[in-house]
């Protein structure tokens, strides 16, 4: 990756069809529909991020052997980087550290399963990091995790031995940042789609909507019309 003066924003992505996705939605949707839904999430996220100015865009994908598949769905403005590490913490730490070492003044990782997330939050994260007013930034999820994390320097302490996929992740991240003397900016909370309840929330909040994650909205409406999702 060539050095850049722009902050880097990387989408953490599992390649649909090459990795199991949205396993907690399999009881409600089945594996095939859950994979199709996640692909909508991912494509909508990439399209939304492509419209954000002033950044270098990255897809951090897994598994590594699916590079050709991710290249087919990636917009041209994205650099592709294989995730590396034994768990999510190692993969996040390696990704952000590599981007900073490559010359980016700030590095941010965002998820690929909060399809309605406003890109203004991403722009705000970029702004607070590049202004120098904060060392790190985090975007909380309603379930106790986060949809975004970024920093201006490597921060391995935020990722090591973290109880991933629990409601403790955000709290422990903030506690570790405080102990390390990091100035942490906290963005507004948002929600990701992990469970059937999350999916029904997405259905309610996108009802009648004609802008935003259009692939996701179309599929949710298709599932509603087919009776896969009851009207809530």
Residue holding tokens 């391995």? 156
pLDDT surpasses 70 at 2: no
Going by pLDDT thresholds of 50, 70 and 90, the confidence category of residue 1 is: very low
Cβ atoms of 106 and 58 closer than 8 Å: no
Lowest mean pLDDT among 15-19, 186-190, 212-216: 15-19
Full-model pTM = 0.95
Instruction: Quote the CA–CA distance of 228 and 220 in Å, as a whole number.
Output: 9
pLDDT one-digit tens code per residue, 204-221 = 999 988 899 999 999 999
Q: Which two tokens stand for residue 162?
A: 């973290």
Q: How many CB atoms lie within 10 A of CB 115?
A: 26
Instruction: Quote the CA–CA distance of 133 and 166 in Å, as a whole number.
Output: 30
What pLDDT, on the 0 to 100 scale, is given for residue 37? 97
Cβ atoms of 193 and 114 closer than 8 Å: yes
Looking at every residue in the chain, the average pLDDT score rounds to 95
Helix, coil or strand: residue 32: helix
Domains of the chain in sequence order: 8-223 (3.90.550.10)
- DSSP β-bridge partners for residue 110: 11, 148
Instruction: Quote the CA–CA distance of 45 and 62 in Å, as a whole number.
Output: 16
Going by pLDDT thresholds of 50, 70 and 90, the confidence category of residue 36 is: very high
């Amino acid at each position: 990756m060539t050095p850049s003066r722009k902050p880097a924003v990387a989408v953490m992505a599992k390649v649909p069809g090459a990795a199991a996705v949205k396993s907690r939605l399999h009881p409600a949707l089945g594996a095939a529909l859950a994979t199709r839904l996640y692909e909508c999430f991912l494509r909508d996220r990439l399209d939304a991020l492509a419209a954000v100015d002033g950044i270098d865009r990255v897809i951090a994908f897994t598994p590594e052997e699916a590079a050709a598949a991710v290249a087919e769905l990636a917009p041209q403005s994205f650099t592709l980087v294989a995730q590396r590490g034994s768990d999510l913490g190692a993969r996040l730490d390696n990704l952000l550290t590599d981007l900073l070492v490559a010359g980016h003044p700030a590095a941010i990782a965002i998820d690929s399963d909060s399809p309605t997330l406003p890109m203004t939050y991403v722009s705000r994260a970029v702004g607070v990091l590049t202004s120098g007013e904060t060392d790190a930034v985090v975007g909380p999820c309603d379930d106790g995790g986060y949809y975004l994390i970024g920093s201006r320097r490597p921060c391995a302490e935020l990722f090591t031995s973290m109880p991933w996929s629990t409601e403790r992740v955000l709290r422990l991240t903030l506690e570790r940042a405080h102990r390390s003397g990091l100035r942490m900016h906290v963005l507004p909370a948002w929600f990701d789609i992990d469970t059937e309840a999350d999916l029904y929330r997405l259905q309610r909040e996108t009802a009648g909507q004609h802008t935003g994650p259009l692939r996701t909205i179309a599929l949710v409406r298709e599932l509603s019309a087919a009776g896969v999702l009851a009207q809530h």
